[in-house]
Structure 1
Amino acid sequence: MDQPTGIVSARHRSKKWSGIFYWLVAALFSLAAALFISSIWAAALAEMEIVAATEFASVSIPVKLAAARVKPPRQTAKGLYLTAYSAGNPKKMEEIIKLIGETELNAVVIDIKDYTGYVLYDSHAPLVKKFKTEKILIRNLSALIRRLHEHKIYVIARQTVFQDPALAEKKPEWAFADRGGGVWRDKKGLSWVDATRPEVWAYNLAIAREAIGLGFDEINFDYVRFPSDGDLSRAVYRNGASKRYEVMGKFYSYLSEKLADEPAWISVDMFGLVMERKGEDDMNIGQRLIDAVNVVDYVSPMLYPSHYPVGHLGLTNPADNPGLVIAHDMEEGIPRFTGTRAEVRPWIQAFNLGAVYDGAKIREEIDAVEKYSSAGWMLWNASNRYSDAGLDPAE
């Protein structure tokens, strides 16, 4: 039956507006859903970064973003090394803070991951938890860092990288293999992880990022090299065709890229002889200045006179001539820092080996370094026995 024209027109308009209303609601719902999913994805991205090791396979690692802060200004850091045992001992830290307050010292270098491979604070890095590679010696690391900052002390984290028995035990497929089977070990019985594996790079990056988030001003990467002792002919690594210095150079660049936006500086430790070696000479461990100086902020050669051989510079006992040994290496190496990103801030000897290292010898070392660099120096004593001997008083 035909409907009156007015009624048909009204019903048509009603259907039309109902359709528009339906699609408007659907569009708004879709937009809300998209925004909700987008917010979840953004949050997930804040906790997950896809990291790709240069020219190697990519791996995924969860990371915790550092609190909003900026890098501290570059300064002349005059520091001393502390084990996690010392850093976790309130009485010892009182002594260290007092010593720093009374002398020219203004920095500390604290182990967060040492030669054992264990992470030495309460880490929340998922792989550290999964592999159980932590041994908590510093109970409240962020509080310790805040306290040191209150005393205007520059705080550096020392993180060993490729000498890592703890990780090698948990993930033997990531370690240097022994040609005879099993995991290869150096002359001290310590195992190393394979420096060519991207998983190892990512694991260490996650730890460094977490340390920065806790408040460290700088991450000092140690054992960024291939092994130097033991039966090296039996050690097998994944990408044996690559030159060792190329592997290390790519690792330095990887750290530089991945930590570029973090509020902390990057430094790497090297053998002292790196200051003298030139060309492709990487001492068969992958260390050359040229590969690091444009991608890290500080290079810290270990200029311990006792570690140089008899006859070095014609000396019967290099340890007894610290000023001469250090001045020579500084003079040799400094030109290769000209016009680069990095500054040289060496480790110097504060322990008795080859000679008694009293205040006079420590002062010789400091004066030799400061003649060539204003970036500072760091005292190394494995037992953390320090005094004001050889140090200028606080200004």
Structure 2
Amino acid sequence: MGLRIQSGDRRRWATIAAGAAVAVVVVALVAGFALSRSAGEASVADTVAPVLRMTSPEPVRSYRDPVVLRGTTVDAVSVSVGTDTVTPAADGSFELSVPWAPAVEVVAADAAGNLSSVVVVTSFALPRMRAVHVTAHAWSHDGLREAVLDLARAGRIDTVQLDIKDEDGVVGYDSQVPLARESGAAAGIYDAPAALRQLHELGLRVVGRIVAFRDPALASWAWRSGRTDWVVQNPSGQPYSSHYGPIAFTNVGHADVRRYNIDLAVEAARLGFDGVMYDYVRRPDGSLSSMHFAGLAGTPTDAVAGFLAESRYPVHQAGAHLSAAVYGIAATRPDQIAQDIPRMARNVDFVAPMLYPSHWNSGEYGVADPNGQPYDIIFRSLQDFATSTAGTTAQVVPWLQDFSLGVTYGDAEVRAQIDATRDAGIDSYFLWNAATRYHGGGLPAG
């Protein structure tokens, strides 16, 4: 009787004499082979999985970019991620490009069908952003639009923040999200594909801003249509009124309200926005006891963090990075508007604290006159945000002030804030001016 041995790397069968069988089988078993018998003969099957070693992939710079996977293997004839497969080189090395995912499973197979797998966690490298805020109406205005583009042509900005949904709940372009159309929010003020094409041709990135839960358009429509639980209420069951208006805030805990904002974010990402930033991702100002969030399980703070967690993967999968604009005071007073920075930071690529010097009280962070000391208040508040986001992958990219409120702001005041941001170790920032008029002389070129 003879024995057959299957070689896993060559799938070659060899028949040997019975007298040598014992020695061969011993060697085969030590090497990880199993002995089996068939009619009149025995076979040894390869059960040893191939060796698979992966190197950490380079971070992607856009969620639209493929993840390039590299590694080496011993004895594998193929390496796969899903249906994407490559054959290793003679030395066992391989390279495989696959669509982005937060983690991918790489599988190596040998000729006998044995498998090894490694889960590779991917990462994202946030690009540098020197951005200015642009409203939908400003983009549709030739003079304001060209002034922004001139800043880009001069090398003073590399990113434009263009509004998707504003403080009135108006969606600036002709959104196809059903609720935006049904509620009358889609206004068609500007042509989003054309705007994105023009900005991208200039080499600019575009971050779309969605004012999330301050949404008078949706709140009014929901209340009129009997969807009262979509609206933040007072204890008597009427819409919660604030200095933003008699019916301004939607219910952060309501699934349909959350879904609407996520649908807008995903649509924008698919259109080509490079990033999506949620603003007013919070509860209204005021005493929590004066507000009622119908159906809310947990606290508004839980709901805000949960909303970002719910948003993250759909937005990334659609191709955009995700961020949240937050109050400057949130680093030290998280419960005041339900913005817990460490929890929020776990679910965004960056947090964007609004550090406008005019908004701080005298003495905050030991700064006697924050509005008159823009460098000092920016530098010191950024240190707190660095601490609050430590241990997460989120970066901090501040909103800086380019408007006058109490103190006249010009080139020097804008540059002081940018210098403070740089000295705090951050090379990105967003400038805010509601009228979309900026002091280009305060912006460093290059």
* Category of TM-score, reference length = shorter chain: 0.7 to 0.9
Partner residue, 1:87: 139
Moved more, 292-301 or 185-194: 185-194
Answer whether contact 1:75 1:375 (CA < 8 A) is retained.
no
1:10-48 per-position Cα deviation (integer Å, ceiling 9, x unaligned): xxxxxxxxxxxxxxxxxxxxxxxxxxxxxxxxxxxxxxx
1:227 to 258, 263, 284: 284
Q: Identify which range, 90-99 or 194-203, moves more after superposition.
A: 90-99
Q: How does 1:288-307 map to 2 (within 5 A)?
A: 288-307=340-359
Cα distance per residue 1:355-383 (max 9 Å; x no partner): 11121111111111112243500100111
Question: What is aligned with 1:348?
Answer: 400
Does structure 1 retain, via aligned residues, the 8 Å contact 2:100–2:317? no
1:206 corresponding residue in structure 2: 263
1:385 to 437, 440, 446: 437
Conservation of the 8 A alpha-carbon contact between 2:262 and 2:311: yes
Task: Name which structure has the greater RCO, CA cutoff 8 Å, separation 6+.
Answer: 1
Matched, 1:148 2:148: no
Correspondences of 1:27-106 after superposition (within 5 Å): 74-106=126-158
| 1:17 paired residue number | none
Identity within the alignment, %: 30
Question: In the alignment, which residue of structure 2 is the partner of 1:4?
Answer: none
Q: Which runs of 5+ in 1 are unaligned?
A: 1-67
Alpha-carbon RMSD: 2.1
Give the Cα separation in 2 of the matches to 1:234 and 1:331. 33
Between Structure 1 and Structure 2, which shows a larger proportion of helix residues? Answer: 1
1:297-316 deviations in Å (ceiling 9; x for gaps): 01000000110012323444
Contact (CA 8 Å) 2:367, 2:377: kept in 1 or not?
no
Q: Does 1:272 align with 2:323?
A: no
Residues 1:264 and 1:375: Cα distance change in structure 2 (over 3 Å): farther
Alpha-carbon distance in 1 for matches of 2:444, 2:130: 11
**Residue 249 of structure 2 aligns with which residue?**
192
Quote the residue 1:249 is aligned against. Answer: 305
Rg: which structure is higher? 2
The one-letter code sitting in structure 2 at the alignment partner of 1:247 is: A
SS of 2:188's partner is: strand
Listed as ranges, the matches of 1:368-379 within 5 Å are 368-379=420-431
For 2:159, the equivalent position in structure 1 comes to 107
Contact 1:156 1:216 in 2 (8 A): yes
Distance 2:338 2:295 in 1: 14
Query: Partners in 2 of 1:236 and 1:245 — Cα distance?
Result: 14
Q: CA deviation at 1:168?
A: 0.7
Gaps of 5+ in 2: 1-97, 102-123
Q: Are 1:260 and 2:311 an aligned pair?
A: no
d(CA) in 2 for partners of 1:264 and 1:234? 37
1:247 Cα deviation after fit:
1.4
1:286 corresponds, among 338, 348, 365, to 338
The separation in 2 between residues aligned to 1:141 and 1:261, in whole angstroms, is 20
On the 8 A contact 2:144/2:437 being kept in 1, the answer is no
Structure 1, residues 335-373: CA drift from partner, whole Å, max 9, x if none?
A: 333342211001001111131112111111111111224
Tell me the TM-score normalised to structure 2 length. 0.68
Please list the CA deviations of residues 103-159 of structure 1 after superposition, one character each: whole Å capped at 9, or x if unmatched: 431111111101111211101111212222222211x11111111001011101000
Q: C-alpha deviations, 1:158-185, integer Å up to 9, x for none?
A: 0001001111111122111233343222
* Aligned residue in 1 for 2:232: 176
Amino acid at match of 1:356: T
For 1:176, give the aligned amino acid.
V
1:161–1:223 CA contact under 8 A, matched in 2: yes
Q: TM-score, normalised by structure 1?
A: 0.77
Distance 2:378 2:335 in 1: 19
User: Kindly tell me: are residues 76 and 143 of structure 1, through their superposed partners in 2, closer, same or farther at Cα, counting changes over 3 Å?
Assistant: same
Asked whether the 8 Å contact 2:322–2:349 carries over to 1, the reply is yes
Q: How far 1:210 moved relative to its partner? A: 1.0
- What residue identity is the alignment partner of 1:327? F
- The alpha carbon displacement at 1:386 in A equals 1.0
Taking structure 1 as reference, are residues 357 and 384 closer, same or farther at Cα in structure 2, changes over 3 Å only? same
- Tell me by how many angstroms 1:249 deviates: 1.2
Q: Secondary structure at the match of 2:440?
A: coil
Pairs within 5 Å for 1:311-326? 311-326=363-378
Aligned equivalent of 1:158: 209
Residue 356 of structure 1 aligns to a residue whose secondary structure is: coil
Which amino acid is the alignment partner of residue 214 of structure 2? Q
Measured in 1, the distance between the counterparts of 2:202 and 2:99 equals 19
Deviation string, structure 1 residues 271-304 (Cα, Å, up to 9, x no partner): 01223x1xxx423211011112221101000000
> Quick check: 2:126–2:349 contact (8 Å CA) kept in 1?
no
- Which residue is 2:294 aligned to? 238
Q: State how far apart, in whole Å, the 2-side matches of 1:293 and 1:188 are.
A: 27
3-state SS in 1 of match to 2:317: coil
Higher share of residues assigned strand:
2
Aligned counterparts of 1:322 and 1:198: Cα–Cα separation in 2: 40
